[in-house]
Chain A
């Protein structure tokens, strides 16, 4: 079974045509990989489907805009995967 990071990295590689070996846990989706907001919608859709969750993109964006969080907290891939794992765990608890 592949790790959360492997799944996310494969989604990004396929969606954005970025070589898989350039995608690392410390990569910032926007600053390092150059992913724009439209491509990120595709990535979010694929992640939502793959993990059965709903990434709270609006909430994250609001937190960043309000200065309550940094983009690194959500868009550095290692951190994004931690968020995904938390959402998956929360959903499992609800079930």
Chain B
């Protein structure tokens, strides 16, 4: 997890195109300037970043399902529940599943667990559009390699 670059996930653990689910791992940094303000003396992973981690995981699921042909952009977050505190150094296990694939949009449900315990969840809607340009797509492919995204399974190999 590199908060400075808004990279909220570390590793794709599993992508199941048949079951239309993804499992992703992310390690909350032990130290970061964010924790100096959120909060002084009580460092907590901000809930909005947990939601972003679920959105990024869902996004990779959608890219995996569409064969790396289209890019999902966050459009709506519903029923977001932040059940307990997440603290520096904890390992997040993020799972997401496709709820519905519409025309130009998709809906997922995502959840984060820490040590087997659910810490947050949400239903997330994305606009899914063609990649804006080749450079953007190339940057996503580079990121895919960084996080161990199975490009071959997405029909991109």
Contact = CB atoms under 8 A, between A and B. Distances in A.
7 contacts: A41-B102, A48-B102, A56-B103, A57-B103, A57-B105, A58-B103, A59-B103
A58 B104 contact: yes
Contact of A54 (B76, B103, B125, B127): B103
B100 interface: yes
Interface of A: 38, 41-42, 44-45, 48-49, 54-59, 61
B107 interface: yes
Contacts of B100: 45, 48-49
B114 interface: no
B143 interface: no
Given A41-B125, A45-B107, A45-B125, A54 B102 contact: yes
Interface of B: 75-76, 100-105, 107, 125, 127
A56 B76 CA distance: 20
Contacts of A55: 102-103
A80 B149 CA distance: 40
A13 B42 CA distance: 43
Contacts of A58: 103-104
Nearest to B104: A58
Nearest to A48: B102
A38 B102 contact: no
A42 B125 CA distance: 9
Nearest to B123: A45
Nearest to A61: B104
B102 A44 contact: yes
Nearest to B99: A45
A48 B105 CA distance: 12
B132 to A, nearest CB: 16
A50 to B, nearest CB: 12
Nearest to A49: B100
Nearest to B129: A58
Given A38-B75, A38-B76, A45 B103 contact: no
Contacts of B76: 38, 41-42
Contacts of A48: 100, 102
By Cβ-Cβ distance, the 3 closest A-B pairs, closest first, are A57-B103, A58-B104, A58-B103
Contacts of B101: 54
